[in-house]
Structure 1
């Protein structure tokens, strides 16, 4: 009976739309009986909310039934309290995500009347069961190990070779997979931030340190080399080759360790193809961006930390700490928010060292602390050497606050007095933020910030911000939820892909077209035609079952969260330490200007997910202290 109830809720939750359908008003108003009118309204609303055909629902039911039958063979039959809390949280976030993904302005629609409340309850219940079942499967795998899949005969010898030399094999496989993409997408893709860095380097606009100087020099040096060789396009192509090679080596380094931790004959083999195949990774290898190299350095840092947690003697004997130092230096020199990630990681290691009172733990603390300090000194030296403007833009740290004000102005303009509008105007362009407010990205809003606003003007603004929060707290909550719901939403893939060399073009900034011409970048029509085809290949990929979920960053974030709560419950402290940098990165992105669709910020979770998963399996095999 319980299994049938679970299947019912899961199937119905996946079949319902949270949107409020239009009811036939003429029919509704023609019903004299209030009771019958109520039943009519309920049934019409509920019926029109079913988004799949009867055949699709039937097939979905068979699929859910098949999965439920598989749970019989699991050694774990129930989840812990903390796992249930996570399932509930994820179910609530799925409901919220279904609202915003449907382009509905507010989550209040989920509670607008008895029918909407019923649908919301069904959706949350169904997804609660989905996440509960997922955690049962995950817990079983962590405790029993990755099951070996029966391999076709022709693959057995290949997998056997892979097991012997995982680093070399992974490097060769990824290179073979990506090299054709690099050539077909010649010369590469320039997005907005990259063009800004290149134009600053070449003196078209003043050089600033908002984008770290090292990343500006790295990208621009290839453009300079290309110009020297007679083609700026060729310079961007060389940049794509080099950054792809760095990413390949970083992934191969990680896969080698996954092979050691996972103890599976084929898991690492298939994982190599998956990481090479996913558009959220392969679609970025041609993009001139600091974020790809940052992701590679972040992955290498996590790998070195995993080695330290796995075998400290090996870590010191083989000087793996040099990799730790290098990855911290490069990460901080490539992206500003990585400094906070490193500092939080340092604090955790410091607390661990104090608790264990181990000399070796103190050594790692000194290494991390020294690496952070050296990176900051080097970054400051590069800024001075380049003569860059090092003034901190206040808008970068107030993205969340400004976005909340913009949403308030957008929906409650009539409640804001002239005096309050004047207070906001001294910090933000009120009329503009009211109209340009975009729930997914805060860049248009924070772009109106007056950096010249005085301390008193900022104080008055923040006092007003707090006052408005007390008036309509839900507006502030929704401003943040709407911008970040995609972290936890599996039903719709929000990925946005860069496609063309000219992706940095903007309609409202025609000067960018002139920058392309002055720098010598020229778009190839045949390549552009191929990229148009690639665009719909990516979009098709994001709509296919299973593949779409594997290409969704939310899948890996949810996986990491499930591993985290399992580790908390079982007191698997090493896995928790390994998760700290990922948690810090996640928190820094929550405070950022944009997440939804911008996979270049999020691929560290995708690349680190398999490693953390394999490490968790390894730690669970170790005898309790």
Structure 2
């Protein structure tokens, strides 16, 4: 009991520690370490004693409740290890957020003690929250209205139609406030390419560039450039409403608890990641919609098994989701292609297990065995054909667009963002250790003299821009050899470069609250194109949209509601599901979370995540259906 009391106290301290070095600590640097620690702590605790005490009391109450139900709570060493790893990332985030390095964690005895207290306290706090969530899910509690509610009755009778209609009505004000459409510089570059003012490249997915340009041309034919942009976001909102309606239909089929459906609906109609981005033209939103559709189809593959491949509707939706994911994001193939292999392995194992079960429980005559073997072979071949058609169509469209528009292919540098960022940080921090041979190898690929100056710990694009397009395979091989050697010399530098850019993925205490609310571009060439096409903002709508943006900025900071707009929160839930999928022996869950894990891995390898939360939309949009499916399988396990 004493140990739990101390751990709750450390957790309360950790939640109230600020890692900045107190301003009056300089004159104490030469004093004893104990004085350093005491004064450092005194100047680093945020808030008031009363607030910290309230946090401590609340944690003690939670711990007492969990202790009373210790027979139902399972906190294994693996859980504590996972929580410890997350706590380490959080404490790294505390330092990166302030000084873009880990120096705050070990600069003096006081800082080191704060680091130890923080990691210990946050590890305990995360384990408590995980246990509390697990206990809540085991309770089977659900919220149900005592009286009949029209909306609930209508949803139960027509879940898909009602969901689509209500979502569209709730989103309609946001759609109108976005008129003609919200656009960022990426989209304007695509428009410049589509209308021939820039070289057409594969830096942005060609299919999306052509699609956005096609809607704009339709608007011009109808006499209004604004109308073309608005037609695009209208198409986008209808597509998203249909896919989310399909998700809510599936959640009903899986007997999802009401609290989860209500929470998912509130998030969909209130979170800025939904409401403000549905009116924005950008490749990441439509790509995320197709990933969500793909995840929903994975649910049906796992539940229906052989019956799935007999349904033309499901086969069509699966193919559409894979084709859309590959066409509308350049890295979509790195999610879909590995998943195709996973799907085929899953279908093969399902067929084998089904055949084994039937041979054990039914007549094993040669005729019936042959019939079943033929049926299972047909099922597997159907899966193969659907996957091959999806790959062929997406590749065919890509090749056709490349030839038709004479598109310039992208360079290898797009896949080397992370190594380039690590090299730049190495040169910035350890330039005196770089040998002439290493410098020569780096110069063959990057502008060595600019690396230290251009290095930005949050984004690798400035460093990547120094890539030399004339670099040969030999040059790249020599560079990668040096990259490995330098990583072995200073692995902490490489870790810092990686974590400094990506800690936002699981660190919820820093808001990644970027939203867009303008059509007008800042780029000179884009302004000229907008003027030539006749794209313009409506002052009244623009003013109202500014108010919406202000509200959404506040939304990110609100308690509870702010979590609905936190990519880190959704990724922490993903980690929780992975852990309990292992603990409860639900292997099929990993096929479902695999596209989300691959999406996170791509973010780590990508140029940036800070200021670009849209890259994490596949995880954010898919989490409700993944969580619902986990509850379905966990419930079956308990039964």
Q: Same fold (TM over 0.5)?
A: yes
CA distance in 2 between counterparts of 1:312 and 1:355 reads: 10
Contact 2:445–2:467 (CA under 8 A) maintained in structure 1: yes
**What is the CA-CA distance between 1:559 and the residue it aligns to?**
0.6
Partner of 1:98: 94
Say yes or no: does 1:438 pair with 2:456: yes
**What is the CA-CA distance between 1:553 and the residue it aligns to?**
0.9
Partner of 2:362: none
Structure 1 residues 76-114: Cα deviation after superposition (integer angstroms, max 9, x where no partner): 22322332222121111111112222x222124213333
Partner of 2:106: 111
Say yes or no: does 1:490 pair with 2:508: yes
Partner of 2:530: 516
Structure 1 residues 48-87: Cα deviation after superposition (integer angstroms, max 9, x where no partner): 1112222322333344344335434576223223322221
**What is the CA-CA distance between 1:622 and the residue it aligns to?**
2.5
**What is the CA-CA distance between 1:314 and the residue it aligns to?**
5.0
Give unpaired runs (5+ residues) of structure 2.
Answer: 353-375
CA distance in 2 between counterparts of 1:28 and 1:384 reads: 67
Counterpart pick for 1:260 among 253, 256, 261: 253
Say yes or no: does 1:600 pair with 2:600: no
CA distance in 1 between counterparts of 2:340 and 2:95 reads: 39
Contact 2:178–2:280 (CA under 8 A) maintained in structure 1: no
CA distance in 1 between counterparts of 2:40 and 2:10 reads: 18
CA distance in 1 between counterparts of 2:587 and 2:533 reads: 52
CA distance in 2 between counterparts of 1:184 and 1:613 reads: 32
Say yes or no: does 1:159 pair with 2:152: yes
Contact 1:143–1:620 (CA under 8 A) maintained in structure 2: no
CA distance in 1 between counterparts of 2:88 and 2:188 reads: 40
CA distance in 1 between counterparts of 2:214 and 2:462 reads: 30
Counterpart pick for 1:193 among 186, 194, 202: 186
Counterpart pick for 2:44 among 49, 54, 67: 49
Say yes or no: does 1:469 pair with 2:483: no
Partner of 1:279: 272
Contact 1:143–1:617 (CA under 8 A) maintained in structure 2: no
**What is the CA-CA distance between 1:302 and the residue it aligns to?**
0.7
Task: Trace 1:236-315 onto structure 2 (pairs within 5 A).
Answer: 236-312=229-305, 314-315=307-308
Contact 1:159–1:266 (CA under 8 A) maintained in structure 2: no
Partner of 2:128: 133
CA distance in 2 between counterparts of 1:307 and 1:133 reads: 34
- Distance 1:518-1:448 versus aligned 2 partners, 3 A rule: farther
CA distance in 1 between counterparts of 2:14 and 2:99 reads: 18
Partner of 2:591: 577
CA distance in 1 between counterparts of 2:487 and 2:118 reads: 29
Counterpart pick for 1:338 among 324, 332, 355: 332
**What is the CA-CA distance between 1:332 and the residue it aligns to?**
0.8
- Distance 1:551-1:316 versus aligned 2 partners, 3 A rule: same
Structure 1 residues 534-591: Cα deviation after superposition (integer angstroms, max 9, x where no partner): 3332221111111112210111111111111211222212211111222222222221
- Distance 1:255-1:535 versus aligned 2 partners, 3 A rule: same
Partner SS, residue 325 of structure 1: helix
CA distance in 2 between counterparts of 1:549 and 1:253 reads: 24
Give unpaired runs (5+ residues) of structure 1.
Answer: none
- Distance 1:540-1:463 versus aligned 2 partners, 3 A rule: same
Partner of 2:542: 528
Partner of 1:553: 567
Say yes or no: does 1:505 pair with 2:522: yes
Task: Trace 1:17-416 onto structure 2 (pairs within 5 A).
Answer: 17-26=18-27, 37-71=32-66, 72-73=68-69, 76-101=72-97, 103-145=98-140, 147-149=141-143, 151=145, 156-312=149-305, 314-319=307-312, 320-358=314-352, 359=376, 360-361=379-380, 363-389=382-408, 391-416=409-434
- Distance 1:524-1:261 versus aligned 2 partners, 3 A rule: same
Contact 2:215–2:229 (CA under 8 A) maintained in structure 1: yes
Number of positions where the alignment pairs a residue of Structure 1 with one of Structure 2 = 611
CA distance in 1 between counterparts of 2:285 and 2:532 reads: 26
Structure 1 residues 592-625: Cα deviation after superposition (integer angstroms, max 9, x where no partner): 1111231221111111111111101111222599
CA distance in 1 between counterparts of 2:78 and 2:307 reads: 35
CA distance in 1 between counterparts of 2:262 and 2:104 reads: 46
**What is the CA-CA distance between 1:175 and the residue it aligns to?**
1.1
CA distance in 2 between counterparts of 1:63 and 1:176 reads: 40
Say yes or no: does 1:16 pair with 2:17: yes
**What is the CA-CA distance between 1:180 and the residue it aligns to?**
0.6
- Distance 1:28-1:213 versus aligned 2 partners, 3 A rule: closer
Partner of 2:626: 612
Partner SS, residue 23 of structure 1: helix
Say yes or no: does 1:591 pair with 2:605: yes
CA distance in 1 between counterparts of 2:164 and 2:395 reads: 32
CA distance in 2 between counterparts of 1:454 and 1:117 reads: 46
CA distance in 2 between counterparts of 1:456 and 1:130 reads: 51
Partner of 2:577: 563
**What is the CA-CA distance between 1:221 and the residue it aligns to?**
1.0
- Distance 1:5-1:514 versus aligned 2 partners, 3 A rule: same
Deviates more, 1:20-29 or 1:462-471: 20-29
Partner SS, residue 15 of structure 1: coil
- Distance 1:409-1:166 versus aligned 2 partners, 3 A rule: same
Say yes or no: does 1:448 pair with 2:441: no
- Distance 1:157-1:470 versus aligned 2 partners, 3 A rule: same
- Distance 1:500-1:13 versus aligned 2 partners, 3 A rule: same
**What is the CA-CA distance between 1:418 and the residue it aligns to?**
6.2
CA distance in 1 between counterparts of 2:224 and 2:71 reads: 62
Partner SS, residue 24 of structure 2: coil
TM-score w.r.t. the length of structure 1 is: 0.92
Partner SS, residue 571 of structure 1: coil
CA distance in 2 between counterparts of 1:532 and 1:295 reads: 26
CA distance in 1 between counterparts of 2:266 and 2:162 reads: 11
- Distance 1:24-1:143 versus aligned 2 partners, 3 A rule: closer
Deviates more, 1:110-119 or 1:275-284: 110-119
- Taking only aligned residues, the RMSD between alpha carbons, in angstroms, comes to 2.4
CA distance in 2 between counterparts of 1:538 and 1:410 reads: 38
Deviates more, 1:174-183 or 1:263-272: 263-272
- Distance 1:148-1:431 versus aligned 2 partners, 3 A rule: same
CA distance in 1 between counterparts of 2:273 and 2:462 reads: 25
CA distance in 2 between counterparts of 1:273 and 1:459 reads: 51
TM-score w.r.t. the length of structure 2 is: 0.90
